[in-house]
Amino acid sequence: MTTPLPETATPPPGCPAHRPAAGTPAAAAPPNVTPLYGTSVSEDPHGLYARMREQHGSVAPIELEPGVEAWLVLGYAELLELTRNEQLFSKDSRRWRVPKEGRLKSDSRLLPMTAWRPTLLNMDGADHQRLRGAVAQTLAKIDHRQLRQTTEAAADSLIDSWGPDGTADLITQYARRLPLLVFTQLLGLPAEAGPHLIELISHFVDSSEKSVRANAEFQAILLDLVRRRRAEPGADLTSWLLAHPAGLSDEEAVHHLVVILVAGNETTINWTGNTLRLLLTDRRFRATLTGGRLTVSDALDEVLWRDPPTQNFPGRWATGDTVLGGQYISAGDMLVLGLAGANADPAVHGPGGVGGNRAHLAWGAGRHVCPAQHPARLIVETAVETLIHRLPDLQLAVPGHELSWRPSPWSRALTSLPVLYSAFTPPRTPAPERPTWTPPTVSAPTDSTPSDATSTPRTPDSAKPAPRSWWSSLAGWWSGR
């Protein structure tokens, strides 16, 4: 529960409220403050969050980088309160006390994920509602039937581009490439821009040393797109966003395309990879590859509960001194949404709990809940179903415990997912040329499961598509052909 901080209350020693004065060199993090970076957050996040919960409760003190403190909200109820109370917890990162006190370096890897931008992610109240309405209504123009067909065609082209040796890496050769095949078309970007955008996104989502420069280059590409679509509108998300009655400026449009691409692309990659891992390593889902009772949709939901594609998300900033989850929160403190940790809160599992349904917090909560969850689900579901239809005897090439994760405090993402296969089935339908997107009536995604098909041995010639479609050309570019 959040309560105002009594005037006479003093934060306990060691909590983030006891921070060095402005201009003072940052000391090492106190022993009871957990660094949310390095190998611990990637190798065993579930164990890390459990230990933090045991030591601190539902809100834990963390360090985002040396000398930069914050709070990680691990409680399900506390995270709901955090996301629903704009008066106490704002989305405006300009309230953050760390930069104001001169303690955030100009080249900090946190900047791309925390810097204020004129987007729905960084605003409250009426400003947020205006921008969210523009994005949500633009996304609603996507025809879900056509999106399913487009995603399936892209998936087929990638699978057809693999060699005849029966090996593949489902992260680098599939999950990481597929979304950009779809998103470049949705946004009206040139097909060849996809690979470079993937590289740039990876840098600043992983908070790498190249993140600041990658972020600037990424936005420059999108600014050029916005200016071209402003002059010559097309049947794509960029043009629809610019034409929305909210009247977005070029700057606002660019920043919202960043939101769509980064949040949509990165989440889709991780959700696809984590679902494929679950299908290949968990006996409960293994039968799905041969038509078991548990469906791909069940696997998608379990991943959102246990290994959500975004495990932590910045953030909220306290507008005044308060208490949350028994912790003293000072005005200007940053609070990180611990999506994976809150999903694992023991208070919401077990008899009468919410485990096993879609009450997870993978999409956030409150007014800032993700507006793109339905298209994202459709893309991931289609990607997974298409793969297991085409490669019905798919299996891991290494023991499951040898799989490794990217060292990101934000994303839950595999570095690779090597597999073996010896048989494949043809695509359900021939891969079409790049279709033209038209503003259709909104339709909901339909449930589907892989259709039965007879497997045939893979031969070198079987992977060669007929005429070289747009999908095949881009897939070939990815493969270096």
- Structural domain boundaries of the chain? 1-117+311-361, 140-306+371-479
Give the burial class of 247: count Cβ atoms within 10 A of its Cβ; 0-12 exposed, 13-18 middle, 19 or more buried. exposed
Whether the per-residue pLDDT at 425 is higher than 70: the answer is yes
**How many angstroms separate the first and last alpha carbons of the chain?**
58
Identify which has the larger pLDDT, 146 or 456.
146
Phi, psi of 228 (to 5 degrees): -70, -40
**Phi–psi pair at 211, nearest 5 degrees:** -65, -40
Q: Provide the pLDDT for residue 28.
A: 43
Dmax (CA) for the chain in angstroms is 78
Structure tokens at 290: 């041969």
- CA dist 176 and 193 (Å) reads 14
**84-88, 124-128, 159-163, 291-295: least confident range:** 291-295
What are the pLDDT digits (tens) for 153-205? 999 999 999 988 899 999 999 999 999 889 888 999 877 777 787 777 777 66
Cis peptide before 315 (omega within 30 of 0): yes
Kind of pairing between the strands at 3-4 and 322-324: antiparallel
Q: Where is pLDDT greater, at 72 or 22? A: 72
Q: How many residues does the chain have?
A: 481
Architecture of domain 140-306+371-479 in this structure:
Orthogonal Bundle (1.10)
How far is CA 174 from each of CA 51, 105, 428, rounded to the nearest angstrom?
A: 35, 36, 18
Average pLDDT over residues 330-335: 98
Q: How far is the C-alpha of 91 from the C-alpha of 362, rounded, in Å? A: 18
Least confident of 98-102, 373-377, 446-450: 446-450
Phi, psi of 210, deg, nearest 5? -100, 10
Paired residues of 456 in beta bridges: 424
Q: Which residues contact 435 (CB under 8 A, 6 or more apart)?
A: 146, 149, 150, 185
Question: How many other C-beta atoms lie within 10 A of the C-beta of residue 455?
Answer: 14
CATH architecture of 1-117+311-361: 2-Layer Sandwich (3.30)
Counts for the chain of helices (H) and strands (E), in that order? 18, 14
Q: Quote the distance between the C-alpha of residue 465 and its chain's center.
A: 32
Cβ atoms of 211 and 203 within 8 Å: the answer is: yes
**Mean pLDDT calculated for residue range 63-76:** 96
Measuring CA to CA, which residue among 361, 325, 321, 327 is closest to residue 344?
361
pTM value is 0.81
DSSP state of 262: I
d(CA 281, CA 174) in angstroms, rounded, equals: 18
In sequence order, which residues have a C-beta less than 8 Å from that of residue 233 and are 6 or more positions away? Answer: 239, 242, 243
CB 201 within 8 A of CB 400: no
- DSSP letter at 453 equals -
CB 75 within 8 A of CB 346: no
CB-based contacts of 125: which residues, under 8 Å, 6+ apart? Answer: 86
Element (H, E) at 49: helix 45-56
Question: Using an 8 Å Cβ cutoff, are 312 and 409 in contact?
Answer: yes
DSSP string computed for 126-157:
HHHHHHHHHHHHHHTTS-HHHHHHHHHHHHHH
Q: What is the pLDDT of residue 383?
A: 97
Q: Higher model confidence: residue 473 or residue 399? A: 399
Distance of CA 116 to the CA centre of its chain: 19
Find all residues with CB under 8 Å of 144, minimum gap 6, and list them.
374, 375, 378, 442, 443, 444, 445, 446
| DSSP β-ladder status, 68-73 and 334-337 | parallel
φ/ψ of residue 72, rounded to 5: -105, 120
Mean pLDDT across the chain = 81
Of the ranges 210-219, 261-270, 287-296, 451-460, which one carries the lowest mean pLDDT score? 451-460
SS3 label, residue 429: coil
Is the pLDDT at 219 greater than 50? The verdict is yes
Cβ neighbours around 178 below 10 Å, total: 27
